[in-house]
Structure formats: structure tokens, C-alpha cells
Structure 1
Amino acid sequence: MKRMGKTAIVLMLAAGLMAGQAAGVSAATEKEDKVITVAHRGASGYAPENTMAAFEQSVAMKADFLELDVQLSKDGRLVIIHDTTVDRTTDGTGTVRSLTYEELSQLDAGSFFSPAFQGEKIPTLEQVLDEYRGKIGILIEIKASYLYPGIEQKVADALSDRNLDKPNNGKVIIQSFETASVEKFHKLLPDIPVGILTSSANQLTDEALAQFSTYADYINPNLAYISEDLVNRVHALDMGIMAWTVRNAVYVQPLLDAGVDGIITDYPDYVPRHRG
């Protein structure tokens, strides 16, 4: 795990210099015992996905990261929504890319989940960054990049404009199913950790993992593909691994037993803070 492993070593050395070798080992062990909890589209089991309400719930539930999906409006704004159409999660119809930000901002993105969330809006990436930077980690999924030429640069600019292009704590991560998009973003902002999302066994072969390890920091597979062997092979290449998407608590312990570094879930309270 490129950045996580380096951080653990630094912590160990610092603790050893200050309080002896035993203290260093203890600090490193505690870090390795930590499980990263990622609130999928926010705490989307409790609030409408990809809304400020879901992100606020992520913070309240003490998740380590909120995860979100970013696309482009017709006029080039970075908007937070999962599907490439607005039909499922709003009271509107049509593709995201066919609607301006002004049109998207008029939609109700909460009522599909519950009447209690009527009036929730589709946020922009900039709004989320401004509100939650420093409060919680932010895992940004670049969605359907093949529909949005230049989206990687726009995301990079939004981060750079806020001095988030060189995080010293790994609290911003970029991921995508489109490997070319991940690689493109890595070239733009090489200090930001990036991850490959996958639900394909073909992307989890030794050869594929070795190729990804030349630029990626994480491999984030569908939970159905997680095994101790896969975790060990990913770790051997100095990458981290986070599984998606947990919607039933029964899946948590097997993932922990396999040794994953993080769990992406609609229900952040399902995941323990430490492996125990």
C-alpha cells in the first residue's frame, strides 16, 4: 500500500526515536489494525445518495471517507450524481449531459428516498469540497469519463484551486472504472492517490495488477471477488484494497478476515473501527 505503508514506516521510526522500539511497533500495529470506512454516495442507506444530507450523515456517523460520483452538466459544471440520467434519483428526466447546471439545480434529488428529504439538490463537486474538506476524507469517482472529454482536468482544477492537489494525509482519493481516466488523472496530479474500480476477474490477474501498480494506489473490487489470496497479491504490489458495496452486515466480517484495507458501504455503522 504505497502511501499507507510509507506512513506506517514513518510513524514507527518517529515513535521509536521518541519512546523506543516497542512504542514504534505499537503505533504501526494500531495503524494496520484500522479499517477504512467509506460511506458509499454518502451514508446512502440513511439519506438520499449523493446529496449533502447523505454527506452530512457520513460525518455524523464518523466515516473515514465519503464517496461520490462526478459527471459534467451540459455547460461543463462538475455535478454529483451516480446515473448518467436523472430519472431514478430526481423528479426530472433526461441525461445529465443534456441538462445545464441551472436545470439540474432545480430538480428534487431527495423525495425518491423519502418525503422527509424533499427539496434536496444535486450538489456540485466544488460545494462538497468546500463544505467537507478537513472534516472527512473524500473519495471521488469519475463517472462515465467516455461521455465527458476533459473531466479529469476539471476535477484536477477543482482540487488545485483549493490547494488539495498535494494532500499530506491521503484524504482525497480519485477512482474510476475507466482505467484510462485513472491513468490520465494520475499524470495531471501525481500526488493524489488513485484507485481502480473493478467487477471483472480479468482485471485481477497477476499481469493486470502488476500493470495497475505502475500508477494506482488502490484496487477496489466488487466484494464478490475478495479473497485472502487477492488481498495478499494486491498488498505484495504495494497497493491498498477496498471492497464495494456492503449493504448487508453479514458481509463485513468475511471482508475483514480476508484483510481488506477498507469497506465501501451504504451503512457506515456496519463497519467496526478496528478489526478486533
Structure 2
Amino acid sequence: MRRTEVIAHRGSKGTHPENTLPAFEEALKAGSDGIELDVQLSGDQELVVIHDETVDRTSDGHGLVGEFTLQELKTLDAGSWFASEYAFSRIPSLQEVFDLLNSYQYTGVLNIEFKTNKYPYPGIEEKVMELVCRQNWPFAIEYSSFNYQTLRRVKKLDQSNKIALLFEQSEGAIEILDNRFLVTMWHPKLTWLREISESNVPKIPTRPWTVNHSHDLDYCFSKRTYGVITDYPAKALAIREKWQS
């Protein structure tokens, strides 16, 4: 029987500044089955890895991500907010993250979340596909978003692309887009998974977010969900050994 995948949310978000190279490197060292990150476009149309639409929360800068060039984003301190020892951390480009995973010969899953909820970033899907097709990467790539229009565009670019729907309520739990594009995975909020009855356990592969507390990890591993998305991959992997060794 397959084991539940442990997907590192924004890298090892609980122990390192999220969506930075140190966070991704820690997720790699922990042995995560998958890594999740968020992608947006800078003002000069470069793919950058950051969750919020503004840089305020996770850097010493202020303003919208799309108002900065990549070079300007690189001047921001993206680690001191978490701990002074990470003052050297910068907002990475998606290319930098790909290069890091490649240097580790990582063979797990990379989940790219398109942060197109508030700003559509026209052309972002094509830019990501261009990077993906640039060479044969050793890791598998999947795409997720709360924006179903983005996922439709991803599938139109290549029907073989694997997509995951992000949602919080049952209304989001659809299995096909436009009667054309099959959904590969569900990424629901953990509370949704806990609230559905046993008779409605999803048949589609499901990775709930964000599963951090020990009792929630116990719950998911005991139910053998397809995966868990967690801020603490090392902790999750240790708990998985108790349930699925």
C-alpha cells in the first residue's frame, strides 16, 4: 500500500523563511516527497517565487510584487522577518528554485501554485511552461491554483499537464473543468476533509492543507490521504513512520 506523500508547503515554512532557497533546501534535506511554491510575475515579467501579492509581510520592502523589477526584488531582505540569521535570504526567481532542485537531483514532485487570485498576470502560464520545457528536469511538475481559469489555460497549453484544484468549500470540489479537462488532484483545506462524512471520502487523490499539528497529521496518515501539505515536512515524515512504516 502506498504511503501518504509529504508535501513541503512553501518549502519548510515552519522552520525557515517561506518561499526562499533556505526553506526549499531544508525541505530537500528532510526528504520531502514533494515541494510546493507560489509563483507571480515581477514588473519586468520575470517569474518570482512569493506568496503574497505584496512584499510587505515577508520582506523589508513595501508595495505590490508587480511594481518591482526582478533586480529591485533582489535588493529586499526576505529572511530577517523570520529570524536574523536569514537576513541574507532573497526572493528567488522560479529559475533559481529549478536550478536548486536540479543540483540536488531531486526526483520528487514540484507543485507550482499560480497566485492569480487577485492579479491575473497575463502570460504567466506560458512563461512557466517555457521554463519547464527548457530541459528535462529530474522532478515531476504539477500545477495548482484557486483560479480555475488559470488551470484551464494550463491544460490548453498541454493536455498532459497535471492540475490540482485548491478550494476551501465543497462547491470547489469539482472533477472536470468545462467538461473537457480532468482534474488530477484535490487540494482542499483540512477543515473540509474533516467535515465530510465517511461515506463521502473523496475518490480523487486528495492532499489537504495546511496539516501542521500532530493530531491532524495522525488523522491524515490514519486515513491514508493521498498526501498532506505541511509547513513542517521533517515532523510530518517522522509521524508518518509511526503510521505507515
Q: TM-score, normalised by structure 2?
A: 0.88
Matches within 5 A, 1:64-79: 64-79=33-48
Q: How far apart, in 1, do the equivalents of 2:190 and 2:141 lie?
A: 22
Q: How far apart, in 2, do the equivalents of 1:233 and 1:215 lie?
A: 19
1:141-185 CA distance string (max 9 Å, x none): 011264301111111111011235xx8x7x211111111111210
Tell me which of 178, 198, 220 is aligned to 2:187.
Answer: 220
- Unaligned 5+ segments in structure 1 are 1-28
Q: How far apart, in 2, do the equivalents of 1:184 and 1:147 lie?
A: 12
Q: How far apart, in 2, do the equivalents of 1:231 and 1:192 lie?
A: 30
Q: How far apart, in 2, do the equivalents of 1:267 and 1:127 lie?
A: 22
SS of residue paired to 2:32: coil
SS of residue paired to 1:244: coil
Higher helix proportion (structure 1 or 2)? 1
- 1:243 aligns with 208
Q: How far apart, in 2, do the equivalents of 1:234 and 1:87 lie?
A: 37
SS of residue paired to 1:245: coil
- 2:124 aligns with 151
Tell me which of 98, 102, 110 is aligned to 1:138.
Answer: 110
Q: Do the aligned residues in 2 keep the contact of 1:69 with 1:80 (CA within 8 Å)?
A: yes
Matched, 1:162 2:162: no
- 2:228 aligns with 263
- Cα 1:73–1:59 change in 2 (3 A) is same
- Residue 231 (structure 1) shift: 9.2
The count of corresponding residues between Structure 1 and Structure 2 is 235
Give the alignment's Cα RMSD to 1 decimal. Answer: 2.2
Give the share of equivalent positions with the same residue, in percent: 34
Q: Do the aligned residues in 2 keep the contact of 1:231 with 1:260 (CA within 8 Å)?
A: no
Stretches (4+) displaced over 6 A: none
Matches within 5 A, 1:87-236: 87-133=56-102, 134-135=105-106, 136-144=108-116, 146-164=119-137, 171-204=140-173, 208-209=174-175, 211=177, 214-227=181-194, 229=197, 234-235=202-203
- Unaligned 5+ segments in structure 2 are none
Q: TM-score, normalised by structure 1?
A: 0.79
Q: Which amino acid in structure 2 is aligned with residue 268 of structure 1? A: P
Q: Do the aligned residues in 2 keep the contact of 1:231 with 1:241 (CA within 8 Å)?
A: no
